[in-house]
């Protein structure tokens, strides 16, 4: 780690972070950005949903290196020539980038992305491996619903078994994941806190072992190719984007969240509660039944908007949008106890995300 390019001919490794919805990819990317030492990371964030929530979540840490691929699933929305354009920008010597990390949408098929990288004609970059993030607490459920996870694990170079803090049987999950990923290193983590050295191994491509060849990928995707995109994870999902310039009423929003339908698997974004908290916006993360709000101070220049992305299967998108519209506040003043329902889901110190102001960071893994 920490190697700076010594000549323009050095190729920059491109690492792909994949993983199911809400498994902790953005959290891992943020951790890497904060712990990269002397290495400079160029990040490409591919988000699912019209509002680029993940791009917003990492933008502060990245500054002008952020390149978002915009709406949709990378494997469908971006062809090789487009991806090359982004890689070319980040690989320019003046950008001073040591490693490029692509955070795939939670709905992207990782092998498509890796295949695009291997097919890339960009001379400045070399494919640097596939990281699969899994949610240890949800692993059994995810696997039952999406058996293709096994195939993703078999393709990975590194598997991060994340959220071990929430999984009472993390050892069992680790052993199971190890049995499913034949050549990958499998590391446990909480909040994506892995040693960045796992990823920033900047050796030339011929020295890398255990990474995918084009043929491997071809074999794995042949069935899907013959049927178009029907085998893709994301074909079964719908996403709803919701934006409001008027603040939301906390009670109404909590009523909506408490009664959210089973198929609504993931909610993320930012909420403006207007007079209920003029200082903070509330980042919201829901995965399955898990729900958290994280207050974050508004920056002075920021437009005060609520921006949410809801992802689920078999959801009634117009119905959900209508319910969210009904959460918009029509009262000019806050009532005293309005925020109680929301504050129940703000983590206590020690439980929150690492790096948050006033929140103790969980210890680094051994
Ligand atoms: N308890 C716990 N929560 C975590 C951990 N890692 C991430 N989270 C939380 O899980 C939620 C989802 O994390 P993200 O990093 O946004 O997940 P993601 O994979 O990027 O999500 P998508 O972009 O929707 O696919 C957030 O609320 C995180 O704070 C962990 O190790 N333990």
Task: Flag whether pLDDT at 307 surpasses 90.
Answer: yes
Co-location of 280 and 211 in the same domain? no
Closest alpha carbon to 15 in 23, 3, 5, 25:
25
Which of 168-182, 225-239, 282-296 shows the lowest mean pLDDT across its residues? Answer: 225-239
Residue 310 has pLDDT above 60, yes or no: yes
**Which is higher by pLDDT, 354 or 111?**
111
As a whole number, mean pLDDT of residues 87-99 equals 83
> How would DSSP label each residue in 120-153?
---TTEEEEEEEEEEEGGGHHHHHHH-TTHHHHH
- For ligand 1, atom 13, the nearest C-alpha belongs to 24
Q: Which residue range(s) make up the domain with 163?
A: 12-226
Is 354 a member of any domain? no
Tell me which residue has its CA closest to atom 2 in ligand 1: 163
Residue finishing a domain among 183, 204, 226? 226
Statement to judge: residues 179 and 255 lie in one domain: no
Q: What is the ipTM of this complex?
A: 0.98
**Residues 265, 159 share a domain:** no
Residue 366 within a domain? no
Task: Indicate the residue among 226, 254, 271 that finishes a domain.
Answer: 226
**Which pLDDT score is estimated for 48?**
59
Domain shared by 77 and 200, yes or no: yes
Residue 2 lies inside a defined structural domain of this protein? no
pLDDT for the residue 363: 38
Q: Are residues 161 and 39 both part of a single domain?
A: yes
pLDDT of residue 219: 37
Instruction: Categorize the per-residue pLDDT at 62 as very low, low, confident or very high, splitting at 50, 70 and 90.
Output: low
Residue predicted with more confidence, 36 or 62: 36
Residues with CB under 6 A from ligand 1: 19, 21-27, 54, 106, 162-163, 165-166, 190-192, 266, 268, 285, 287, 292, 353
Task: Identify the residue whose tokens are 């920059």.
Answer: 12
Q: Final residue of a domain: which of 185, 203, 226?
A: 226
- Are 131 and 277 within one domain? no
Is 143 in the same domain as 292?
no
Question: Does residue 150 share a domain with residue 271?
Answer: no
CATH code at position 74 = 3.40.50.300
pLDDT digits (tens, 9 = 90+) for 226-261: 334 444 444 456 788 999 999 999 999 999 999 988
Residues in Cβ contact with 358 at an 8 Å cutoff, skipping those fewer than 6 apart: 349
pLDDT of residue 98: 83
Give the residue, by CA position, lying nearest to ligand 1 atom 6: 191
Q: In the predicted model, what is the mean pLDDT of residues 184-201? A: 81
Which residues does residue 294 pair with via DSSP β-bridges, in sequence order? 283
* Least confident span in 50-54, 159-163, 308-312: 50-54
DSSP 8-state secondary structure symbol assigned to residue 347: P
Q: Flag whether the pTM goes above 0.80.
A: no
How far, in Å, from the CA of 94 to the mean position of ligand 1?
Answer: 33
Does residue 349 surpass a pLDDT of 50? yes
Q: Which is nearest to 21 in space by CA: 345, 295, 286, 306?
A: 286
Number of domains in the chain: 2
In a domain, 348, yes or no: no
Buried b or exposed e, range 150-172, using 16+ CB within 10 angstroms: ebbbebbbbbbbbbbeebeebee
Instruction: Provide the pLDDT confidence category of residue 124 given band limits of 50, 70 and 90.
Output: confident
Q: Residue 249: its pLDDT value, please?
A: 97
Q: Look up the CATH number of the domain holding residue 300.
A: 3.30.1220.10
Residues 135 and 113 in one domain: yes
Tell me: do 143 and 56 sit in the same domain.
yes
Is 213 inside any structural domain?
A: yes
Q: Are residues 220 and 247 in the same domain?
A: no
Least confident of 60-69, 146-155, 209-218: 209-218
Top mean-pLDDT range of 124-128, 152-156, 243-247: 243-247
Verify that 81 and 174 share a domain, yes or no: yes
């Amino acid at each position: 780690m920490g190697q700076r390019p010594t000549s323009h001919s050095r190729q920059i490794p491109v690492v792909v972070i994949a993983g199911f919805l809400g498994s902790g990819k953005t959290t891992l990317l943020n951790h890497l950005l904060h712990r990269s030492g002397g290495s400079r990371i160029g990040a490409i964030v591919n988000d699912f949903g019209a509002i680029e929530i993940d791009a917003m979540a990492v933008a502060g840490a990245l500054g002008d290196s952020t390149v978002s691929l915009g709406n949709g699933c990378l494997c469908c929305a971006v062809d090789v020539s487009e991806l090359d354009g982004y890689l070319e920008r980040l690989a320019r010597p003046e950008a001073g980038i040591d490693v490029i990390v692509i955070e795939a949408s939670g709905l992207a098929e990782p092998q498509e992305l890796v295949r695009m990288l291997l097919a890339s004609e960009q001379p400045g970059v070399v494919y640097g491996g596939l990281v699969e993030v899994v949610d240890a607490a949800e692993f059994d459920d995810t696997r039952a619903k999406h058996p293709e996870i096994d195939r993703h694990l078999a393709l990975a170079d590194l598997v991060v078994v994340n959220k071990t803090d929430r999984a009472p049987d993390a050892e069992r999950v680790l052993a199971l994941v190890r049995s499913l990923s034949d050549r990958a290193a499998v590391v446990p983590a909480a909040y994506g806190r892995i040693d960045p050295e796992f990823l920033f191994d900047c050796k030339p491509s011929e020295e890398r072992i255990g990474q995918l060849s084009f043929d491997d990928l071809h074999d794995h995707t042949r069935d899907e190719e013959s049927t178009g995109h029907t085998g893709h994870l994301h074909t079964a999902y719908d996403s709803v984007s919701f934006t409001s310039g008027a603040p939301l009423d906390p009670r109404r929003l909590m009523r909506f969240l408490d009664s959210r339908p089973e198929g609504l698997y993931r909610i993320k974004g930012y909420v403006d509660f207007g007079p209920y908290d003029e200082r903070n916006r509330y980042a919201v993360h829901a995965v399955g039944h898990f729900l958290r709000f994280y207050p974050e101070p508004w920056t002075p220049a920021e437009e005060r908007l609520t921006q949410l992305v809801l992802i689920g299967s078999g959801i009634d998108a117009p119905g959900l949008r209508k319910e969210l519209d009904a959460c918009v506040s029509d009262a000019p003043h806050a009532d005293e106890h309005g925020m109680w329902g929301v504050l129940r889901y703000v983590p206590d110190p020690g439980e929150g995300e690492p790096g948050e102001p006033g929140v103790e960071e969980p210890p680094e893994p051994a």
